[in-house]
Structure 1
Amino acid sequence: MTVLVVTNDFPPRQGGIETFVRSLCDELPEVVVYTSRSPGDTTYDADLPFTVVRDRTAVLLPTPRVTRNAVRLMRAHGADRVLFGAAAPLGLMGPALRRAGARRIVAMTHGHETWWAGVPGARQALRRIGDAADTLTTVSSWCEEQIAPALSPAAVRRMRRLTPGVDTDRFSPECGGEEVRKGLGLEGVPVVACVSRLVPRKGQDTLIRAWPRVLAAVPSAVLLLVGGGSDRARLEALAESTGVASSVVFTGPLPWTDIPPYVDAADVFAMPCRTRRFGFEPEALGIVMLEASATGKPVVVGDSGGAADTVRHGETGYLVDPYYPPAVALRLVELLTDPAQAKAMGEAGRGWAREHWSWARSGATLRELLDT
């Protein structure tokens, strides 16, 4: 079985979908990846154990030229299976690849397909994508509920859940957090960490607004915001105006390989993600919350889209209203002031991640879908 993976979401770009697609490639026997250009891609691709072909453009679209290239790669590499890293819009190439000899086509959906399902024109395109694929996968129950009404009954019957996994060896207790704390001057202080792109949907501003209440109960606490993004200047200004700038640390962007120790540096992991733009910008799942659980950290998760699937409320952490900072602060204070409870939740989270969120399990599901 040789699989052609067609995707815009691939490292060295950073993000949950990129990690998802890249990790699934390791679970497949033979892979060739067709993807877009990205800064640093030549160096990154040189170390991969499979072939990556980069298009000349920064964004792949289902144009005639891109479709011809995909067909050529299928034939050149003897690929008879196709995996679309994100169904919309690249899945519109499905019929052409079927005619070129694709025996099985799997199209993965994430968060953005949920708004395709609700917009005229895009909704019809998503229906065509579903009809062209043997299976349309979803990352969460919420995504499935949003996407299914846009599909034909036959495509709905073929839908399957395909969730990302967690590398519980990389993300594990004591994987380097003490070194990070030492380097940042955070030894011996309570730390709440959020590891994510700095964009409004992730809710770092809610954490900053909640922080005065946290400091009132835990004066030495530090908020560690790991990642880069377009929202940094606004967040820094908010920290200043809220009077908490001295207890908020911004690391800036970090390579994906360096992330686990920063998660391990936390006492509590928090990402009060939220749904924005009238429901068109949700959190589809939130793999970083599961990575935090695998690292043995209690998690505080915003109730947005499929994010609820990443926490067992009251067992591995808490699901909170991301629009209400006092509620977020309440849970953070509870966990920071009760180390025994925080430890118990972290241990429960690691056990859950190891049992239910492994890449081996996700890979087995994908191989089944491609080989049926």
Structure 2
Amino acid sequence: MTRTLVVTNDFPPRPGGIQAFVHNLAVRRPAGSVVVYAPAWKGAAAFDAAQPFPVVRHPTSLMLPEPSVLRRAADLLRAEDCDSVLFGASAPLGLLAPALRRRGARRLVGITHGHEAGWASLPGARGLLRRIGDGVDVLTYLGEYTRSRMARALSADAAARTARLAPGVDETAFHPGADGGAVRERHGLTGRPVVVCVSRLVPRKGQDALIRAWPRVLAAVPDAALLLVGGGPYRADLERMAAEEGVTGSVVLTGSVPWEELPAHYAAGDVFAMPCRTRRRGLDVEGLGIVYLEASATGLPVLAGDSGGAPDAVLEGETGTVVPGRSVPAIAAGLTGLLTDPGRARKMGARGRAWVEREWRWDVQAARLGALLEG
């Protein structure tokens, strides 16, 4: 059995999408086959004690590809009898790959996310990404967008050795039977058509475009409500925009919500929307958008923006629709079309649920990782 050392800056209890991605893969590996090396983080001791595998913490909250990290990783590789290494995020720790191979690692796999695609566009970082690709046996990608972006920076050999590995969805937590009634009642949304967006409140995610589009939606569906779930630095700006548009009474911002309450918040909606857009000349881009898939698993039709890999999380016309993230008219038209045709919306939600069950369950992704680690 392959025994894997997971070297990662991104791991719970630090919150975040990459952290959840790496952890969900790790817990689905066979018993006794994983050791994790990750940075220190508040609450780590209690979290680590509950894991089904050893977690060794670096003394600081950030790990860089430097001698102290290499030394600890190499010591763990030898002490724990690991024959493979998985980099939870290839940039920058994947730069350690050649040195760890010399110290006994037989197989090295690097996971990439959205930021590695950004590295491919920057002159200095591009060369580092090329070195990472040459140093590992497999570099994974989220979808076609991130694959094509990274391929420009990789050597031909490394590009030929890439493989798709995307985050999964817990289809047992996110499902059509989830009850959103209490969330609707809490926010005065009972009986109203609801568009829900679950995401961190930052400009790229497009909550501002939803608010700008909302007067047009209300013209067609007067009792509709917009439920914005999540916290973030953009909240005050969004509240100001809602006031400027005169829609404060039909826009609800919940603030941050614990993970265990997210299924109910998805279920409180009739339509899911996150019209993300690319910013900063392609450096601030959506890698995939797992929230679209969680919404599909809950049985909701989705409206996605066209940033980066977001379209990879939607079957156009089947599970939802993709619109230009900067086009307020397109966003309004997409939402209005779904809210005024509930039969079509339900069919899209059902197709989305079936697609998640077929392609996006965590067990499917874990099996893909297993094959990559075995080589």
TM-score under structure 2 length normalisation: 0.96
**Cα distance, 1:344 vs. partner?**
0.7
**Letter of the structure 2 residue corresponding to residue 213 of structure 1:** R
Seen in structure 2, the aligned counterparts of structure 1 residues 41 and 316 have a Cα distance that, compared at 3 Å, is same
> Paired residue for 2:159, among 147, 156, 160?
156
1:176 matched residue in structure 2: 179
CA distance in 2, matches of 1:98, 1:257: 40
CA distance in 1, matches of 2:105, 2:252: 50
CA distance in 2, matches of 1:81, 1:53: 16
1:98 matched residue in structure 2: 101
**Cα distance, 1:47 vs. partner?**
2.2
CA distance in 1, matches of 2:329, 2:13: 37
1:83 matched residue in structure 2: 86
1:329 matched residue in structure 2: 332
**Letter of the structure 2 residue corresponding to residue 53 of structure 1:** V
Seen in structure 2, the aligned counterparts of structure 1 residues 43 and 209 have a Cα distance that, compared at 3 Å, is farther
**Cα distance, 1:97 vs. partner?**
1.1
Count of residue pairs the alignment pairs up: 372
**Letter of the structure 1 residue corresponding to residue 291 of structure 2:** V
| Counterpart secondary structure, 1:249 | strand
CA distance in 1, matches of 2:235, 2:43: 23
Seen in structure 2, the aligned counterparts of structure 1 residues 13 and 191 have a Cα distance that, compared at 3 Å, is farther
1:129 matched residue in structure 2: 132
**Letter of the structure 2 residue corresponding to residue 3 of structure 1:** T
> Paired residue for 1:231, among 231, 234, 258?
234
Percent sequence identity is 57
**Letter of the structure 2 residue corresponding to residue 287 of structure 1:** I
**Cα distance, 1:63 vs. partner?**
1.6
Once the two structures are superposed, what CA deviation does each residue of 1:239-295 show, in whole Å capped at 9, x if it has no partner?
122211221111111222321111111100001011110011111111110110011
CA distance in 2, matches of 1:258, 1:36: 27
> Paired residue for 1:313, among 312, 316, 329?
316
Seen in structure 2, the aligned counterparts of structure 1 residues 219 and 45 have a Cα distance that, compared at 3 Å, is farther
CA distance in 2, matches of 1:266, 1:222: 9
1:3 matched residue in structure 2: 4
1:303 matched residue in structure 2: 306
**Letter of the structure 1 residue corresponding to residue 353 of structure 2:** R
CA distance in 2, matches of 1:134, 1:318: 36
What pairs with 1:138-149 in structure 2 (closer than 5 Å)?
A: 138-149=141-152
CA distance in 1, matches of 2:257, 2:11: 16
**Cα distance, 1:119 vs. partner?**
1.3
CA distance in 2, matches of 1:80, 1:130: 19
Seen in structure 2, the aligned counterparts of structure 1 residues 216 and 39 have a Cα distance that, compared at 3 Å, is farther
Q: Is the counterpart of residue 62 in structure 1 residue 65 in structure 2?
A: yes
CA distance in 2, matches of 1:338, 1:32: 50
| Counterpart secondary structure, 1:97 | helix
> Paired residue for 2:168, among 165, 168, 189?
165
1:45 matched residue in structure 2: 48
**Letter of the structure 2 residue corresponding to residue 7 of structure 1:** T
| Counterpart secondary structure, 2:61 | coil
| Structure 2 unmatched runs, 5+ | none
**Letter of the structure 2 residue corresponding to residue 181 of structure 1:** R
**Letter of the structure 1 residue corresponding to residue 178 of structure 2:** C
> Paired residue for 2:268, among 255, 258, 265?
265
CA distance in 1, matches of 2:35, 2:258: 24
CA distance in 1, matches of 2:260, 2:79: 32
1:246 matched residue in structure 2: 249
CA distance in 1, matches of 2:241, 2:94: 41
Cα-Cα RMSD? 1.3
What pairs with 1:23-42 in structure 2 (closer than 5 Å)?
A: 23-29=24-30, 30-42=33-45
Q: Which moved more, 1:175-184 or 1:325-334?
A: 175-184
**Letter of the structure 1 residue corresponding to residue 4 of structure 2:** V
Q: Is the counterpart of residue 281 in structure 1 residue 274 in structure 2?
A: no
Seen in structure 2, the aligned counterparts of structure 1 residues 101 and 53 have a Cα distance that, compared at 3 Å, is same
**Letter of the structure 2 residue corresponding to residue 4 of structure 1:** L
Tell me which stretches of 4 or more aligned residues in structure 1 moved more than 4 Å.
none
2:74 matched residue in structure 1: 71
Q: Is the counterpart of residue 204 in structure 1 residue 185 in structure 2?
A: no
Contact 1:201 1:274 (8 Å CA) reproduced: yes
**Cα distance, 1:39 vs. partner?**
3.4
